[in-house]
Amino acid sequence: MKVLDKISADFDNSISKETESIKNIRIDNFTEFKKMGIPTSKEEFWKYTDPSIINDSEFILGDSEDIEDEDYDIIIVNGKLVKKIEGMQNTDVRGSLSEEILDSSHFLKTKNAFVNLNNAFLTDGCVINFEKDCKKEINILNLVNNTKSEQIIHPRIIIKAGKNSNISILEEIRFSGKIKNLVNSVTNFYLEEGANVEHVIIDDFSEETYQISNVLVKQKKDSIFSSYNYSNAKKLVRKDFIVELKERGSHCDLRGVYLADKDNHIDHHTIIEHEEEHCTSNELYKGILSGKSTGVFNGRIHVHNAAQKTDAIQSNQNILLSDNAIIHTKPELEIYADDVKCTHGATVGQLDEKGIFYLRARGIKRKDAQKMMMRAYVGEVLTGIKNDTTKNTLLEKIIANIPDGDE
């Protein structure tokens, strides 16, 4: 049975107990998904990443599993909330999406087949509502735990930041087990006026992970959204970020580090929608690729005609540690306003051999010399992280996982 047939069977089994209103929303999304199908590399948006390779897999719908208690404020296992710290002031955490589904604006059909698929399988998830003026640091463990058979899961997190709130979120996405997983995740952020949200994502993939991730952000007046995203690619990873700067004075900062080696594949697509005037954005992604791996970066800044006084910066930088590694990079500007300041660029290169020679001449092994040079390269991406412990821990994790290059 091909994956589409199995997904259809799982959907039919999961829909029977829903209320009529929720059932209709899920059916609408699944109908749209079936109409669109799993994308192929013939589509421009998927030109360098072909998710159709999952078609012949025997994925079953994943279920929650028990785990030992760990030191996190919130724990999500296979898309389901299994732990939350009680008594967090000015913060509401829920594991049921029923009320959110009925507010169907979150779950309208989209042009993205995988978002529609996630919408279609909405049952459980995690909703975090930070109230007005709330100041909070939380850490989340988002665990994919699979020891039985090939599985597909559809995690959904909805985060709402109230007016003038100041929130820092550290989310660790961890994969356990050596069995093939397809993780189709969607995270929604809604920032009210003056909200400031920092989201640090650490992906720790297993060798058999296929991940499709969509992060969707909507920002109101004078809000700030900062994302720091680290990915160490395994089989296939596709990450989409869509940020809508919907009101005057909003700002977003998208930063990422991605690593890949062997024949692994990682793809980042970002879209920043500047919809109103006096909005700013800053985007910096850096990749380190080795072996026969492939990286993709496609970043688009869309400045609407009402978005005068836009200030937008986008940069993608890549280092190839082997002759067989490949990067496809495509920064884009789409501008319909005339009073803006926008820059974009991309670089692809190798490590500075003179610098490596200098270090090796002082008795440092080549691999160690490479990692020393990488520290400054990677560190630039992480400079804005508020919590120094988080920043330093993440930097050391990245350095430890940098792939070896050609000798």
Average pLDDT over every residue of 14-33: 84
Q: CA-to-CA distance for 290 and 267, rounded, in angstroms?
A: 15
Question: What are residue 145's DSSP bridge partners?
Answer: 176
Question: What letter represents residue 126's amino acid?
Answer: C
DSSP E strand boundaries for 5-79: 60-61, 74-77
> What are the residue boundaries of the structural domains of the chain, listed by start?
3-352
* pLDDT tier at 396, thresholds 50, 70, 90: very high
Pairwise pLDDT comparison (62 vs 254), residue with the higher score: 254
According to the model, what pLDDT value does residue 100 have? 66
Cβ atoms of residues 130 and 136 within 8 Å: yes
Average pLDDT, the chain: 88
According to the model, what pLDDT value does residue 311 have? 98
Average pLDDT over every residue of 3-31: 83
Three-state DSSP class for residue 1: coil
What tokens appear for 222 in the block?
A: 């004078």
Cβ atoms of residues 155 and 185 within 8 Å: yes
Other CB atoms within a 10 A radius of the CB of residue 136 amount to: 18
Average pLDDT over every residue of 285-290: 96
Q: At residue 324, what are phi and psi to the nearest 5 degrees? A: -100, -5
* pLDDT tier at 59, thresholds 50, 70, 90: low
Three-state DSSP class for residue 340: coil
The alpha-helical segments, DSSP class H, found in 84-239 are: 98-102, 113-120
What tokens appear for 137 in the block?
A: 């640091």
Distances from the Cα of 19 to the Cα of 15, 157, 224, 345, angstroms = 9, 21, 37, 50
According to the model, what pLDDT value does residue 139 have? 94
According to the model, what pLDDT value does residue 308 have? 97
According to the model, what pLDDT value does residue 406 have? 65
- 151-162 exposure pattern, b = at least 16 Cβ within 10 A, e = fewer: bbbbbbbbbbbb
What tokens appear for 147 in the block?
A: 């020891």
According to the model, what pLDDT value does residue 195 have? 98
Question: What letter represents residue 102's amino acid?
Answer: L
Cβ atoms of residues 367 and 403 within 8 Å: no
Q: CA-to-CA distance for 235 and 227, rounded, in angstroms?
A: 24
According to the model, what pLDDT value does residue 141 have? 92
Question: What letter represents residue 235's amino acid?
Answer: K
What tokens appear for 257 in the block?
A: 């580090």
According to the model, what pLDDT value does residue 286 have? 98
Cβ atoms of residues 155 and 65 within 8 Å: no
Per-residue model confidence as pLDDT tens digits over 322-375: 999 999 999 999 999 999 999 999 999 988 888 888 888 888 988 788 888 888
The lowest-confidence range among 82-91, 109-118, 218-227, 277-286 is: 82-91
Pairwise pLDDT comparison (103 vs 25), residue with the higher score: 25
Spatial neighbors of 353 by CB under 8 A, at least 6 apart, are none
By percentage, how much of the chain surpasses pLDDT 90?
56
Average pLDDT over every residue of 128-155: 87
Per-residue model confidence as pLDDT tens digits over 211-227: 999 999 999 999 999 99
Q: CA-to-CA distance for 139 and 235, rounded, in angstroms?
A: 27
Cβ atoms of residues 325 and 349 within 8 Å: no
Cβ atoms of residues 296 and 260 within 8 Å: no
The reported pTM is 0.93
**DSSP state for residue 105 in the 8-state scheme:** G
Average pLDDT over every residue of 193-201: 98
Question: What letter represents residue 305's amino acid?
Answer: N
